[in-house]
Amino acid sequence: MVNITISSASKPPPFARDWPITVEAPQDGTIADVKAAISTKYPKFYASRQKLSLKNDRKALSDDKKLSEVLGEKLQGAELQVKDLGPQVSWRTVFLVEYGGPLLIHPLFYYFSKFWYGKEVVHSSLQKYVFAFVMLHFIKRELETIFVHRFSNGTMPIGNIFRNSAHYHILSGLFLAYDIYRPKYSAASPFIVGTYRNNKDFLYVAAGLWAFAELSNFHTHMTLRSLRPAGTRTRAIPYGYGFFLVSCPNYFFEVMGWAIITGMTNSLAAYLFLAFSAYIMTVWAIKKHKNYRKEFGKDYPRRKAIWPFIL
């Protein structure tokens, strides 16, 4: 065992004020062992709440890093600094809350139209299709969160859950539901009657394309899951369906699904959500694409980030 000095990189939590402290870690231990030792001393200061780094360095040290790699051979009496990240919440919980919002909001507008619009809305086939698409999409996302996704980062600051959820709860929840289920899109509306929006063949084709996008999105999630063994942060180059064109086909297919709903409805709220989602997912895809290229170098295939042949 070796003694490691831990100093505070920021204001320490109220339950742990006697800094710096000394903790014991195995000679061949990792950063995770140091975090566990701190948690033993201060149980409320759990590992996911800690950010360990070298003295006067802001870069977080990965949990799986060996102490000998980080501190060199002279481990005894070496010093690290810790920052309190505040109360944390699991990413799985964040995703469940994000996707749960639209699952609650859309039925409220769909089934209680008189409360929102002042009269009962006799739903058109278009409204029925869109309601089914939205509910199935977010049910799928909830099930993937529980059974499919493996998260490289276990937690995030609890306050961020409100910011992250706003995108789904407001744009794809309140705004989209209010706009889509209003009388403008009802069975008797001139906007629907006698137009392509009321054409069965059009709705069948749209449903087929939407199902293709959703199933393709699911397939890429399963591919990504197979690359990361449970309980690890392992990264590998993804290959196969969708990945021969872009690094993040899951984002491409998700945008495609929402683009189909937008084209079906020509809803301003749908355009707003589509534009915001496409922008955010493009930013995420570019970042992941760059990380892949940095990590795997020449071994990484030539492909775009999210938009085939474009970006």
User: What tens digit of pLDDT does each residue of 27-45 get?
Assistant: 888 999 999 999 998 988 9
pLDDT at 233: 67
SS3 218: helix
Identify whether 311 is part of a domain.
no
Identify whether 310 is part of a domain.
no
Task: Compute the average pLDDT of residues 65-89.
Answer: 85
User: What tens digit of pLDDT does each residue of 19-28 get?
Assistant: 888 998 988 8
Of residues 158 and 12, more confidently modeled: 158
Of residues 66 and 260, more confidently modeled: 260
Task: Compute the average pLDDT of residues 275-279.
Answer: 96
pLDDT at 12: 76
Considering the domain architecture, whether residues 93 and 80 belong to the same structural domain is answered as no
Considering the domain architecture, whether residues 65 and 143 belong to the same structural domain is answered as no
pLDDT at 128: 98
* Prediction pTM value: 0.87
Task: Compute the average pLDDT of residues 45-49.
Answer: 89
Considering the domain architecture, whether residues 111 and 159 belong to the same structural domain is answered as yes
Cβ(305)–Cβ(285) under 8 Å?
yes
Considering the domain architecture, whether residues 108 and 252 belong to the same structural domain is answered as yes
Identify whether 62 is part of a domain.
yes
Identify whether 232 is part of a domain.
yes
Domain-terminating residue out of 38, 60, 85: 85
Cβ(121)–Cβ(191) under 8 Å?
no
Beta-ladder partners of 155: 90
Considering the domain architecture, whether residues 113 and 172 belong to the same structural domain is answered as yes
DSSP conformation letters of 73-136: S--TT-EEEEEE--SEEEHHHHHHHHHHHHHHHHHHHHH-HHHHHSS---B-HHHHHHHHHHHH
pLDDT at 59: 86
Identify whether 309 is part of a domain.
no
Identify whether 12 is part of a domain.
yes
Considering the domain architecture, whether residues 122 and 258 belong to the same structural domain is answered as yes
What residues make up the domain containing 108?
Answer: 89-299
Considering the domain architecture, whether residues 177 and 63 belong to the same structural domain is answered as no
Considering the domain architecture, whether residues 70 and 159 belong to the same structural domain is answered as no
Domain-terminating residue out of 85, 112, 127: 85
Identify whether 184 is part of a domain.
yes
- Is pLDDT of 257 > 70? yes
Considering the domain architecture, whether residues 67 and 188 belong to the same structural domain is answered as no
70: confidence class by pLDDT, cuts 50, 70, 90: confident
Task: Compute the average pLDDT of residues 111-131.
Answer: 97
Considering the domain architecture, whether residues 163 and 31 belong to the same structural domain is answered as no
CATH code for the domain in which residue 62 is found: 3.10.20.90
pLDDT at 193: 96
Cβ(246)–Cβ(307) under 8 Å?
yes
- Is pLDDT of 105 > 70? yes
Both structure tokens of 197: 């929006």
Asked which of 40-49, 103-112, 175-184, 250-259 is least confident by mean pLDDT, the reply is 40-49
Q: How far is CA 127 from CA 99, 124, 178, in A?
A: 20, 5, 12
Domains identified in the chain, total number:
2
- Is pLDDT of 80 > 80? yes
Both structure tokens of 210: 């939407």
Beta-ladder partners of 79: 5
- Is pLDDT of 154 > 80? no
Identify whether 136 is part of a domain.
yes
Task: Compute the average pLDDT of residues 74-102.
Answer: 89
Buried b (16+ CB within 10 A) or exposed e, 295-304: eeeeeeeebb
- Is pLDDT of 294 > 80? yes
- State the pairing for strand pair 79-84/50-54: antiparallel
Asked which of 38-42, 113-117, 152-156, 272-276 is least confident by mean pLDDT, the reply is 152-156
Domain-terminating residue out of 85, 116, 147: 85
Whole-number Å distance between alpha carbons of 18 and 206: 63
User: What tens digit of pLDDT does each residue of 209-226 get?
Assistant: 999 999 999 999 999 998
Task: Compute the average pLDDT of residues 71-90.
Answer: 85
Phi, psi torsion values for 76, nearest 5 degrees: -60, 120
Considering the domain architecture, whether residues 54 and 183 belong to the same structural domain is answered as no
Considering the domain architecture, whether residues 280 and 180 belong to the same structural domain is answered as yes
